[in-house]
Structures are given as C-alpha cells and as structure tokens.
Amino acid sequence: MNYPLLNVFFTTMWVFLWVMWFFLLFRVFADLFRDDSVSGWGKAAWSVFVLVLPFLGVFVYLIARGKGMGEREMARSEQAEKDFRAYVKEAAATSPDAKPRSQAEELAQLAELRQHGDITEAEYQSAKDHVLAA
C-alpha cells in the first residue's frame, strides 16, 4: 500500500477539522435553543439558515450572537450554582436525623464554611445574624 506520511497527516487533520466543525455546529444549536430571548420564529429562521448554508450560517451566527453566547453560558452556570447552594442549605437545614445544634456549633460551622470559601463574607454575616437572632 502506497500512502505517504504527508497524506496520513492531511487525512488526520481533515478528520479533526470535521470533528471540530460538528462540535461548533452543536454548540450553536445548543445556544440557540437555550436562549429564551429569541422567539420561536427566530429560532426556526436561524435553524433553516444554519441547515441550508451550514458554513455561512454558523459564521454569521457567531458574528451576530457570539459575544452573547459566553454571557448566556455564564448566567446559566451562575444560576445553576445558586440553585445548588440553595438546595444544599435547605437539605442540610431540614435533615430529619439532624440533631439540634447550639449557637456556638452553628457559628463554628459558618466560620469553617467561610474559611473554605464555600460562602461569601456577606452570606456569612447574614447567616451569623440569623443564628444570633434565633
């Protein structure tokens, strides 16, 4: 079989470029359908544009809405983090087998959470005021 090393390199490069292209295409569709600010007609129009003229459609989408892609992803991540923290705090507070703790134990736990960076200074002060008020 006569297949020079340079041809192997170019074939490998093309395979990786196609894989990257599909990742980019899926990322565009994921961003498009997760964005609530775009109407159904807008999503349909973008989808048709990207499916009919894939390269041009994706590049136009990235130019027109690329900056917002990162902002929307950050907002989704921050909201997921807030939801997770709220769930953990709620689950820890309403645990059925949790023993009632003294104020000193709760304050010690809050201080430990703050030292580890699990809660911010403002969250610590708010929780501390809540514990001391109880």
Domain count within the chain: 2
pLDDT at 89: 83
Residues 45 and 81 in one domain: yes
DSSP readout, the chain? ----HHHHHHHHHHHHHHHHHHHHHHHHHHHHHH-TTS-HHHHHHHHHHHHHSHHHHHHHHHHHHHHHHHHHHHHHHHHHHHHHHHHHHHHHHT-TTPPP--HHHHHHHHHHHHHTTSS-HHHHHHHHHHHHH-
Residues 87 and 106 in one domain: no
Residues 86 and 114 in one domain: no
* pLDDT tens sequence across 45-101: 999 999 999 899 999 999 999 889 999 999 999 999 999 998 888 877 766 665 666
Are 60 and 49 in contact by the 8 Å Cβ rule? The answer is yes
Residues 32 and 88 in one domain: yes
Residues 88 and 115 in one domain: no
Residues 122 and 134 in one domain: yes
